[in-house]
Amino acid sequence: MTDPHRLPGEISVPDIGVGTWAWGDRGVWGMGGYDSTLTEATIAEAWEASIDAGATFFDTAEVYGNGESERIIGRLLAADPGRAAKAVIATKFMPVPWKFDVVGSLRRALEASLGRLGVGSVALYQIHGPISLRGHAHLADALAAVHEDGLVGAVGVSNYSAKEMRSIARELAERGIQLATNQIEFSLLRRRPESNGLLAACRELGVLPLAYSPLGQGRLTGKYDAEHPPPKGRSFSNHPMVEVDAIVNTLRELGGAHDRTPSQVALQWIVSKGVVPIPGAKNRLQAEQNAGGMGWSLTEEELTRLDNVALEGTNDLRNRFWQHG
């Protein structure tokens, strides 16, 4: 592990984590469907390889595979106490508008998540997106109550703009709690959080940004191109593949100089910005490769080249994230 980040509650997060949306998901990621190579055995190998390589931070959510991602992690934690002791688990509450009693709903959702995970508490509990009809004061009350009871080590948000993040951080601070994280789409295919000041706001508030879809849902790995696009349904980072190909060519060239893969260069660019990417991994090879995105660095000139080819990306998150990730 290199330069671990500290969250409130003395939680240690490495430079790169692991996203587990694909674990148990049928629709977008094809487990039990089009992707016959994705099984609970390959997931167990990804889990082992990640932890052994120092990528000990795992991101899940109550909605991933309708709870199946959390159930799989629960089985892994129970079967492998040695690695379980090193694993740092983050999950999320989906604040759909009809959960009007947000204090009660969040507690019930968290208790259900803890049950599926088979644990008494999680390191980090995140609001999945800014879609609740209740104000930030109510959401902060809900988070503060479960924090107070020791069910969560730290609290975070996801898909929050700088303005929304400042508002809920203020409400939490009034309750004696530091907002720990904001999980956002950030990659070479969506640089917008850097250019619109969101990353700067995170730094100012002491909030650790987590980057989701850091490989552009597989598009930046080099295995897809305009002739062989990724399977349908991957709605984040969904640029025409000809635009993506130009970026992957740069990743290949820079990776060649460091004996690294395009994915590893794409992840290291994110790490260099002080952001923790949480790439999804379906098997041992992907997990090992992704963890190999940390522990080395690109030169200033190489980083500038990547800054120059990065795409700004879309501003429209609200309609997409809660149907999928």
Ligand X SMILES: NC(=O)c1ccc[n+]([C@@H]2O[C@H](COP(=O)([O-])OP(=O)(O)OC[C@H]3O[C@@H](n4cnc5c(N)ncnc54)[C@H](OP(=O)(O)O)[C@@H]3O)[C@@H](O)[C@H]2O)c1
By CB under 6 A, residue 218 contacts ligand X: yes
Considering the complex, what minimum distance in angstroms separates the CB of residue 176 from ligand X?
26
Contacts of 324 (CB under 8 A, 6+ apart): 27, 28, 233, 235, 236
Decide: is 153 part of the binding site for ligand X (CB under 6 A). Answer: no
Asked if 289 is part of the footprint of ligand X (rule: CB under 6 A), the reply reads yes
Catalytic residue among 34, 64, 212, 224: 64
SS3 call for 58: strand
Our CB check for ligand X shows the closer of 10 and 321 to be: 321
Distance CA 156, CA 205 (A): 13
Q: How far is residue 146's CA from residue 186's CA, in Å, rounded to a whole number? A: 29
Residue 186 sits in the site that holds ligand X (CB under 6 A): no
Q: Is 160 a residue of the active site? A: no
d(CA 255, CA 170): 42
Q: Which two tokens stand for residue 246?
A: 């130009």
Reduced to 3 states, what is the DSSP secondary structure of residue 246? helix
Nearer to ligand X among residue 175 and residue 252 (C-beta): 252
Among 91, 113, 182, 217, binds ligand X (CB under 6 A): 217
Cβ nearer to ligand X, comparing 149 with 312: 312
Shortest CB 146 distance to ligand X, Å: 19
- Token pair, residue 101, equals 């009693």
Quick note: the x/- pattern for ligand X over 4-43, rule CB under 6 A, is ---------------xxxx------x-----x--------
x-or-dash pattern for ligand X, window 71-110, by CB under 6 A? ----------------------------------------
* Nearest-angstrom CA–CA distance, 13 and 90: 11
Q: How far apart are CA 7 and CA 27, in angstroms?
A: 33
Nearer to ligand X, 15 or 59 (CB): 59
CB 183, min distance to ligand X, A:
5
For the CA atoms of 3, 173, 322, 88, the dihedral, rounded to the nearest 10 degrees, stands at: 30
Catalogue the active-site residues.
64
